């Protein structure tokens, strides 16, 4: 039988989870001994039925969301494929996604390793073909929602604020975060959101996806694959990311920090309903945590 779709729980980071960070001792610029939290990296090997697909480096939370989201966003699993079970073994660091019938991709793929540097192999031609048939909903992005959303994200306790060296992705409706995931690679974080959407049958038509990472071609493709019409980042753009967003009609907003943002695609969805006189600049604490990151 197909895995049961359940009501969507609110997902927020848990920086106090002892599994996600380790205390490491070193010295600072003055030669003083210091101890800081650093995110962990754990291997997670993904199987699709009996076929080993990839080994990912991840912080280890939400392995089932990550597995399903990875397969969906890589177009290895179709939304109409019947998933019968997702089994995770913590000791073996393995997650197995089982489907009612074998999929087309199982015989095509060789083993790949995804690193914390965000390197990732994709069946790019298949992905491009898949997004060409997707019509994104009209939706709208009110600037009041944008500022409310970024303020909420910036002030939510997170591994990003606690330890740095981490990427975050947040699915929002209007200005409210619904699912906030983090990982050492930005693609892991967005794949967890895709898995969450799939498991809980969430309608993406009125949602906004926020990421701390760059607005690259692959982030655009994954957003479109999920059917989300708006993608926002505190970071910048790549030229190919902008070109793809314009081709598919995705609203692409980058450099969203404090009062500032730039939209390079899908500007017709923007509704300017917020006076900038009442918008605060980004806090110094959040800027400091962001300065040393690889966006």
pLDDT tens string, the chain, 295 residues long: the values are: 467 788 999 999 999 999 999 999 999 999 999 999 999 999 999 999 999 999 999 999 999 999 999 999 988 898 888 999 999 999 999 999 999 987 766 655 544 445 444 444 445 556 666 677 888 999 999 999 999 999 999 999 999 998 888 999 999 999 999 999 999 988 999 999 999 999 999 999 999 999 999 999 999 999 999 999 999 999 999 999 999 999 999 999 999 999 999 999 999 999 999 999 989 888 665 554 443 343 4
DSSP code of 69?
Answer: H
Contact residues for 23 (Cβ-Cβ < 8 A; gap 6+): 35, 36, 37
Residue 174, SS3 per DSSP: coil
pLDDT of residue 80: 83
Asked whether the beta carbons of 245 and 220 are under 8 A apart, the reply is yes
Burial 142-165 (b: 16+ CB within 10 A, else e): bbbbbbbbbbbbbebebbbbbbbb
The per-residue pLDDT for 245 is 96
Where residue 266 falls (left for φ over 0; alpha for ψ -120 to 50; beta otherwise) is left
Q: What is the pLDDT of residue 124?
A: 55
Q: What is the model's pTM?
A: 0.89
Fold that domain 141-291 belongs to in CATH: Cytidine Deaminase; domain 2 (3.40.140)
pLDDT at 23: 95
Question: Domain map of the chain by residue range?
Answer: 141-291
- pLDDT at position 126: 64
Taking CA atoms, 267 is separated from 139, 151, 244, 254, in Å, by: 12, 22, 15, 12
């Amino acid at each position: 039988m197909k895995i049961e779709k359940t009501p969507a729980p609110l997902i927020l980071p848990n920086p106090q989870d002892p599994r996600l960070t380790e205390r490491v001792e070193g010295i600072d610029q003055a030669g003083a001994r210091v101890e800081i939290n650093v995110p962990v990296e754990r291997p997670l090997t993904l199987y699709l039925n009996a076929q080993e697909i990839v080994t990912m480096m991840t912080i280890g939370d939400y392995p089932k969301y990550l597995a399903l989201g990875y397969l969906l966003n890589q177009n290895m699993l179709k939304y109409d494929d019947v998933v019968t079970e997702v089994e995770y073994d913590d000791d073996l660091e393995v997650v197995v996604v089982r489907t009612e019938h074998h999929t087309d991709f199982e015989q095509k793929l060789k083993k790949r390793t995804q690193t914390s540097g965000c390197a990732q192999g994709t069946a790019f031609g298949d992905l491009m073909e898949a997004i060409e048939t997707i019509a994104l909903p009209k939706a709208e992005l009110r600037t009041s929602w944008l500022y409310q959303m970024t303020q909420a994200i910036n002030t939510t306790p997170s591994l990003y604020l606690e330890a740095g060296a981490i990427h975050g992705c947040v699915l929002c409706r209007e200005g409210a975060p619904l699912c906030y995931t983090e990982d050492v690679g930005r693609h892991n974080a967005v794949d967890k959101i895709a898995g969450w959407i799939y498991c809980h049958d969430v309608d993406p038509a009125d949602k906004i996806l926020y990421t701390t990472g760059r607005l690259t071609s692959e982030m655009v493709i994954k957003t479109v694959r999920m059917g989300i019409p708006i993608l926002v980042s505190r970071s910048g753009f790549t030229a190919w990311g902008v070109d793809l967003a314009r081709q598919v009609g995705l609203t692409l907003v980058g450099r969203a920090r404090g009062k500032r943002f730039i939209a390079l695609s899908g500007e017709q969805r923007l509704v300017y309903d917020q006076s900038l006189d009442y918008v605060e600049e980004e806090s110094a604490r959040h800027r400091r945590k962001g300065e040393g990151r690889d966006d």
